[in-house]
A and B are shown apart, each in its own frame.
Chain A
Amino acid sequence: MEAEQFGQHISRSFNAELENLRNEVLRMGGMVENHLDMAIEAIVAGDSELGLTVAGQDHKINQMEVAIDEECNRILATRGPTATDLRLIVAVIKAITDLERVGDEAQKIGYLASHLASNQEPSGHYRELSELGEHVKKMLHDALDAFLRLDAKDALLVVEEDKLVDDEYDMILRQCISMMMEDSRTIRRFMDVSWAARALERIGDHAKNISEYVIYMVHGKDIRHLELDQVRQEMGVE
């Protein structure tokens, strides 16, 4: 009788720990989303102060990553989780690495924004950058939502979305190259623009990774490096 109560107690606090872990990841995600938002705003509006602010706040995200990582290690060591619980922990450890990288990319965009803004007023060329930014922002948002809801179908949609982001990136790159060929004085500026686009494209990849962890968490299947058709077949969706 006593042993049973004890057991129940352990599982309850274990549940609370897992729940708390998930909340922390989403809180970190929220902060990353916020930074990305500000970074895109900074580069599109040519706000160098905002860019530097974003760049200067990246350490907060890093701290959260370290804290969550430690918590995961602690749970692994003390609880010895299995099955779904284990998959959750593994997915969390991977997801926070990706989130932290997104934070780094946002920091990079922040620096580029302050650099670009001090060079020249933003012009219409940043419209594509803004569109790409909105796109990856939505991807990251949807990936985190899928993580919250444990929704593999939504996660798969994010994975599929990545292809479009890659296409948009290619388009910006082509535009930059043609601009640079037209007027060699703009090379410096368009190098920065293409770096920013590159950072956004990488963020799309990280969002895709997070979605893949969600699918791993729900179905226990590792879909990395698989063709999309194959994934759909394995998951049993059209």
Chain B
Amino acid sequence: MPQTRIKTVLPQLVILLIGGAIGALYGQILVGLLIASLGLLGWHSMQLFRLERWLRTGEIIKLPDGNGIWPRAFARIQYITERASRNRNNWRSLIKELRTSAKAFPDGGIILNSNHEIINYNKAARRMLGLKKKRDRGQRIDNLIRNPVFVSYLESDETRDGVDIPGLAGEDSWLSCRMIPYGPGQRLLLIRDITQRIKLERVRSDFVANASHELRTPLTVISGYLDALADDDQLPDAWAGPIKDMCQQAERMNLLVDDLLELSRLESSEPGSMETSVDVVELLRFLQKEILVIDEHPETIELRLDSQAKLLGEEAEIQSIAANLVFNAVRYTAPDGRVSIRWHVDDRGGHLTVEDTGMGIAPEDIPRVTERFFRADSGRDRRRGGTGLGLAIVKHALKRHDGELEIASSLGEGSKFVCHFPRSRLIVDE
């Protein structure tokens, strides 16, 4: 750097000296110095004007040559500008790439601020929600998607599960919306078109419901004739056994069809009403009596009623939950075992517990036992009866009552099924 300074300062000093020397010849040193200084000043000003014009107009000029301060300054500025424009181009292509990928994204994405106002959105979101290009930025999302279900989801700040709302594309179009928080107060609203999925689900559940319904009529005819045959005295004895078997199987099919219909009804309807109350205590007492009249039942059927609380919901469904759990326990428990049923209430809500000393469930099977037709192992043959749909019915009926099923079990020692009902569904009057 000092070298540059010397190179810059030295010529100027020389010019001043020459000016002074020429002045001295005429006996006017000061005038000579002044003229030389003015010359230098003029030259510098000219360079400054050039620089200003270059920066303003951006026109390509011939850069001053040499090694002095001005050429260096010009070269430096040119270097900085070129680097900046290179960077800018890089940024631009990066942003363009991001934009294109956001555009190609099949799901809609909307960025919201803490006031639910739209900051930005991609093309898919625009298409799905019928937004206007760029113009809807700054609008509140709940003014555009006015569905009350969505609005209350937005206000609840609940981000775990999304909500499904009807789409704009007319009949049967559905959108699934999900909020993902990120950064301070910023949220990403993801929107997916789930029309196809809803349609498929509907087709499937319609099929199950229709098929079960159609099976019922021929089944009634078959069971009717079988009953008549079973009562027929003139029938050869050799046929008595097979006909009894057929009666049993027809009965089983009947139960199966009933369960399938029940399940498809539970799946397709709205949450259980909050208007009727169910007397759980009476219901459980009745169940206990029902079991005790069966020929083969475990030695002890214990009933512990720690609470008189009633439950808000559909009587038939609560009955179905309790009956399925209790008959399951009875079915898998040896005659010398015990089954205990308990109803109690605590701070978290009401709990219906069914415990048995049966064969238990292997830990890896526990998550799967509520699947349709799942059997813990093939050794558990179908002779014990049951349709394989009981726990699936329990699960769906509980879901409709905002409840949850908890299963604890160890192989060979027994199982414990607990139904948790929320407090909002209890009527406790002490």
Contacts and interface: CB of A to CB of B under 8 A. Distances in A.
A71 interface: no
A141 B139 contact: no
A29 to B, nearest CB: 6
B151 interface: yes
A30 B141 CA distance: 12
Contacts of A26: 142-143, 146
Given A27-B151, A134-B170, A149 B132 contact: yes
Interface string B123-144: 0000000101001100110111
A23 B143 CA distance: 6
A144 interface: yes
B146 A30 contact: yes
A130 interface: yes
Interface residues of B, number: 18
A34 B143 contact: no
B350 to A, nearest CB: 27
A65 to B, nearest CB: 16
Contact of A149 (B136, B142, B149, B166): B136
Contact of A34 (B130, B132, B144, B148): B148
Nearest to A147: B143
A157 to B, nearest CB: 13
Contacts of B168: 141
A37 B143 contact: no
Given A23-B140, A148-B139, A149-B132, A33 B147 contact: yes
Contacts of A31: 146, 148
A28 to B, nearest CB: 9
A33 B146 contact: yes
A145 interface: yes
A178 to B, nearest CB: 26
A30 B276 CA distance: 30
A232 to B, nearest CB: 21
A134 B151 contact: no
A31 B147 CA distance: 7
Given A134-B170, A145-B130, A34 B142 contact: no
Contacts of A148: 139, 143-144
Contacts of A130: 171
Interface string A124-156: 000000100010001001001100110000000
Contacts of B166: 37
Given A23-B142, A27-B142, A148-B139, 5 more contacts: A22-B143, A26-B142, A30-B146, A33-B146, A141-B168
21 contacts: A23-B140, A26-B142, A26-B143, A26-B146, A27-B142, A30-B142, A30-B147, A31-B148, A33-B146, A33-B147, A34-B146, A34-B147, A34-B148, A138-B170, A141-B168, A145-B144, A148-B143, A148-B144, A149-B135, A149-B136, A149-B139
Interface of B: 130, 132, 135-136, 139-140, 142-144, 146-149, 151, 166, 168, 170-171
Interface of A: 22-23, 26-27, 29-31, 33-34, 37, 130, 134, 138, 141, 144-145, 148-149
